[in-house]
């Protein structure tokens, strides 16, 4: 499954287009390397997401077979490894008019 689809299915990022913008801006990493939205994810990968001044690291426990899954099942796709507040906020402006 593509990274942007996984981020949407797991509800780590609520929209696929938003997930793509995060990846394009370099705010998403897989296994400590910058990741494009088209990169394939697999069980065991570690994803790092920077949102504002928050850094969240998760480990993929399961890759869903379908693009859309229930809210309850989405929580079981990953486990949170760490969440931290960064001292400086990542300045990133999203253009929502696309």
Q: What is the tens place of the pLDDT at every residue in 30-80? A: 999 999 999 999 999 999 999 888 999 999 999 999 888 999 999 999 999
Confidence of residue 94 (pLDDT cuts 50, 70, 90): low
Q: Is residue 45 part of a domain?
A: yes
The reply to whether 90 falls in a domain is: no
pLDDT class of 87 with cuts at 50, 70, 90: confident
Domain count, the chain: 1
- State which residues form the domain around 17: 3-85
Residue 91: pLDDT band (50, 70, 90) is low
Ranges of beta strands (E only) in the chain are: 28-30, 33-34, 46-51, 54-60, 78-85
Residue 15 has pLDDT above 70, yes or no: yes
User: Could you tell me the CATH number of the domain that includes residue 37?
Assistant: 3.10.290.10
Name the nearest CA neighbour of 63 among 34, 84, 85, 40.
40
Q: Does 13 fall in a domain? A: yes
**Residue 10 CB coordination number (10 Å):** 23
- Look up residue 28 and give its two tokens: 């998403």
pLDDT at 23: 95
The whole-model pTM stands at 0.84
In a domain, 91, yes or no: no
């Amino acid at each position: 499954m593509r990274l942007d689809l996984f981020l949407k299915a797991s509800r780590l990022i609520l929209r696929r287009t938003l997930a793509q913008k995060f990846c394009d801006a370099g705010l998403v990493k897989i296994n400590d390397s910058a990741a494009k939205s088209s990169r394939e994810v697999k069980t065991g990968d570690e994803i790092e997401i920077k949102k504002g001044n928050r850094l969240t690291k998760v480990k993929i426990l399961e890759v869903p077979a379908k693009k859309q899954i229930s809210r309850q099942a989405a929580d079981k796709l990953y486990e949170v490894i760490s969440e931290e507040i960064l001292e400086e906020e990542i300045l990133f402006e999203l253009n929502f008019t696309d």
